[in-house]
Amino acid sequence: MELRGFKNRNATPGYIYFEGESKPQDAWGRFKRFADRAVKGELFVGLWIVLREMIRFNIHTVQYPAEKLQMSPRYRSIHKLLRLFESGYERCIGCGLCEKICISNCIKMDTKVDEKSRKLVSQYTINFGRCIFCGYCAEVCPELAIVHGDDYEHASEQRAHFGLKEDMLTPLDKFKAKKQKEFPGFGALSKDADKFVKKTPLAY
Amino acid sequence: MIETALIIETVVKAVIALAVIAGMAGFATFLERKVLAFMQRRLGPMHVGPYGLLQLAADGIKLFTKEDIIPQNVVKPIFVIAPIIGAVSAFVAIAAVPYFPQFTVFGYTIHPIISDINVGLLFIMGAASVGMYGPLLAGLSSHNKWSLLGGARAVIQLLSFEVVSGLSILAPLMMIGSLSLIDINDYQIGGFSSWLVWKQPLAFVLFAIAGFAETNRTPFDLVEFEAEIVSGYATEYSGMRWGLFFIGEYANMITISALVSIIFMGGYNPLWIIPGAIMMLVKVSFWIFLFLWVRAAWPHVRPDQLMWVCWKVLMPLALINILITGIVLV
Ligand code: SF4
Ligand code: SF4
């Protein structure tokens, strides 16, 4: 782009400027405006529209405690820790990426090596007083272990609620009943992700 | 003997009218919420009783059991009496309104009107105007600027609209030659084509507009418009005192609906095969619905616009209407 292009301050070609209604100049103009405003059917258009809505009876109320909204998969709410579908073991491998990327520093985790020499996540908490629900942790997690839930009812008596590992991890009985759903939202693989997998080029 | 019977009959009628109108006024608040909700694609009250029907009872209990707060610095006697004036004048106006045609029970003919005064219409309009003292006194005594503004607006509204409603009703009265609502009703006995709307369309429109103003309904609800003056004259009121204002307002709505139906829309004369009482109910319900409908659809006017439209547009129109009617009659 040329410099001239940047210098053009009047950079709103798509805008339509509305100067306002032109004022009537003489008495006849004023009378015409009065007649226009008085006789125009606008008021009746308004009446018709509300009546039409009443007849259509297309009610948009969600009767909240009885009915609940289905949130979009991209909704970022209190986190969940998922389990592996095959073994039921926790997906989290304790890599610590989420802790590292969290911009409000609210994930705290502790790992240790268990008796089978595997890395075990012994502590995992999110301080929801500080979490800004940015979704970076879900996006960075290589195992899709930490994901966002879609539950929007999080009033509670303690600020530590929801944030402990036990709260977030899919409970075993729920998992056994096959109620754990794969997470479709932020950071998840897209449906056609397989198509983009390429062989690792070895022949350098 | 006749005297005692008359007194008993009148008292019974008064009690019935009071109970029915108060009940209808309460029900109108429920209807208002429902109709407004439907027009805005909401459901309205739903949880108390089937489809929220018992909401009324819940509201009643709430209003009656609320603490009766009289704020500091208000002029207490006036503050206390203002809502009573509002409600009482609304119910007094009802006394001269005939709601149904006369009927006979056990060989005893009943006129469903508490008292057929020969200046019935004048009486109703007078009583309704006294009702304006409710808001005015409430506004003056509340020691609150919103209330004061609300009261002031009530007065300008009254001054502007009493003129229009009085003048607009004059033209039909010239044709009928009586102020009694029963005479007015009987004038239109000839069925649909003899309704006064067809002969006095302008007066009809003017009176309807004035009716909206007199009941403080939406295009002219500047007495209690929330966005500007919180709740107007009722800002400091709570509990049953507030409730009285609103029963009065809804009773006024019913009165105005009945008046328009009787004066312009054939009253309680039977139409085709529909009996008169049903016709009256249908018409009054339609007018109540219209009040709610307009509230859902229209914005409200500013006080200066109200005065402008009253003095500069509606009043001249009413005068011209009287003039034309006079010329035609002569
Ligand atoms: S959503 Fe953002 S702020 Fe919250 S825990 Fe994850 S990375 Fe941290
Ligand atoms: S990024 Fe995922 S796998 Fe790694 S520690 Fe966090 S939750 Fe566990």
User: What is the model's pLDDT at position A204?
Assistant: 63
Helix B76-94, helix B120-130: angle, nearest 10:
160
User: What is the model's pLDDT at position B20?
Assistant: 81
User: What is the model's pLDDT at position B1?
Assistant: 60
Q: How far is the CA of A153 from the centre of ligand 2 (A)?
A: 25
pLDDT tens figures, B152-172:
888 888 888 888 888 888 888
- B105 pLDDT tier (thresholds 50, 70, 90): low
Residue A140: its H or E element: helix A136-140
- Across the range A151-180, mean pLDDT stands at 82
**In the predicted model, is pLDDT for residue A94 greater than 80?**
yes
Asked if A126 and A151 touch (Cβ cutoff 8 Å), the reply is no
Pocket of ligand 2 (CB under 6 A): A 92-98, 140-141, 143, 145-146
Ligand nearest the Cα atom of residue A90? 2
Ligand nearest the Cα atom of residue A119? 2
- Across the range A46-60, mean pLDDT stands at 86
Pocket test for ligand 1, best of A75, A126, A140 (most atoms within 8 A of CB): A126
Contact B46 A63 (CB under 8 A): yes
Asked if B94 and B110 touch (Cβ cutoff 8 Å), the reply is no
Tokens of B300: 């409200």
- Across the range B126-155, mean pLDDT stands at 84
Contact A43 B35 (CB under 8 A): no
Asked if B269 and B276 touch (Cβ cutoff 8 Å), the reply is yes
Nearest CA to ligand 2 atom 8: A92
Contact B39 A60 (CB under 8 A): no
Instruction: Give the C-alpha separation, A69 to A112, whole Å.
Output: 41
- Label residues B284-295 b or e (16+ Cβ within 10 Å = b): beebbebbbbbb
Ligand 2, atom nearest to A107 Cα: 6
B43 or B105, which is more confident?
B43
- Label residues B25-40 b or e (16+ Cβ within 10 Å = b): bbebbbbbbbbbbbbe
Of A46, A60, A63, the CB nearest to B297: A46
Instruction: Give the C-alpha separation, B153 to B216, whole Å.
Output: 10
User: What is the model's pLDDT at position A103?
Assistant: 92
As for the ipTM of the complex, it is 0.73
Ligand 1, atom nearest to A105 Cα: 8
A:12-41 residues touching chain B, CB 8 A cutoff = 38
If you write DSSP's letter for every residue of A52-105 in order, what string do you get? HHHHHT------TTTS-PPPPTT---SEEE-B-TTT--B------HHHHH-TT-
Q: How many residues does chain B have?
A: 330
- Across the range B15-23, mean pLDDT stands at 81
CB-ligand 1 contact for A132 (6 Å cutoff): yes
A21 or B161, which is more confident?
B161
**In the predicted model, is pLDDT for residue A112 greater than 70?**
yes
Asked if B191 and B271 touch (Cβ cutoff 8 Å), the reply is yes
> Rounded to a whole number, what is the distance in Å from the CA of A76 to chain B's nearest CA?
28
**In the predicted model, is pLDDT for residue B203 greater than 60?**
yes
**What is the average pLDDT score of chain A?**
83
Ligand 2, atom nearest to A137 Cα: 1
Interface test with A, best of B40, B209, B291, B292 (most A CBs within 10 A): B40
**In the predicted model, is pLDDT for residue A1 greater than 60?**
no
**What is the average pLDDT score of chain B?**
81
Largest Cα–Cα distance in chain A? 97
Nearest CA to ligand 1 atom 1: A133
- A104 pLDDT tier (thresholds 50, 70, 90): very high
Ranked by mean pLDDT, which of A9-13, B43-47, B115-119 comes out on top?
B43-47
Q: How far is the CA of A100 from the centre of ligand 2 (A)?
A: 10
User: What is the model's pLDDT at position B174?
Assistant: 82
Contact B298 A60 (CB under 8 A): no
Closest CA to B281 of B270, B292, B273, B295: B270
Tokens of B148: 């004061």
User: What is the model's pLDDT at position A6?
Assistant: 63
Interface test with B, best of A54, A62, A64 (most B CBs within 10 A): A54
Tell whether the torsion through CA atoms of B307, B308, B309 and B312 is positive or negative: positive
User: What is the model's pLDDT at position B82?
Assistant: 86
Instruction: Give the C-alpha separation, A170 to A151, whole Å.
Output: 14
SS (H, E, C) A149-161: CCCCCCCCCCCCC
Residue A126: its H or E element: strand A119-126
Beta strand spans in chain B (E): 103-105, 108-110
What predicted TM-score, i.e. pTM, was given to this entire model? Answer: 0.74
